[in-house]
Amino acid sequence: MQEKTPIATDEVRQAIDEALARLPGTATRKDKTRLVASLLFLEHGIYPSAKVVLDHTRQGSLTDINSDLRQFWADLRDRMRAKVSAPFLPQDLLDRYAEALSGLWDLALAKANDELQAQRQEAAESVKLAQAEASDALRNRQLAEE
């Protein structure tokens, strides 16, 4: 989802380790997976792949963690689904309205992600250009010193 600097990655790891330490000793692998996935995705904007979650929890197999993550995504979708309460309207109309709102949200999210990717690409190109200019300046300085 997004690249993190080494400092931010250390901060994320520390936050997750602290949260895991607060879990009771009876917490299951599934509890830990859900906690790590929530922190990664909702708090830090990092996609919680099974490998990343396993790296943090050090429990379970990739297959088990994938299963836990599928349930995490299903629960998240259910919680994020728009619910409209209007007893005077037929249920099928309410369902369609909720789907339309969800579709608009998905479209807005996709547009925002596209813009973010474009900005990241632009920033990466600026960094490459700055690095090339710095390298040229260093070479020119070395030539001038010689």
Domain assignment present for 38? yes
Are 37 and 72 within 8 A, CB to CB?
yes
Residues 96 and 50 in one domain: no
Mean pLDDT calculated for residue range 41-59: 90
Domain assignment present for 54? yes
Residues 73 and 12 in one domain: yes
pTM comes to: 0.56
Domain of residue 139 covers 88-145
Residues 11 and 70 in one domain: yes
The chain-wide mean pLDDT, for the chain, equals 87
* Joined tokens for residue 113: 């992600």
Residues 94 and 76 in one domain: no
* Joined tokens for residue 103: 């579709």
Residues 54 and 106 in one domain: no
Domain assignment present for 1? no
Residues 128 and 105 in one domain: yes
Residue pLDDT, tens place only, 76-99: 887 877 666 777 888 888 888 888
Please give the helix or strand (H or E) that residue 83 lies within, else none. none
| pLDDT value for 50 | 92
* Joined tokens for residue 31: 């509890």
Task: Look at the chain and report how many structural domains it folds into.
Answer: 2
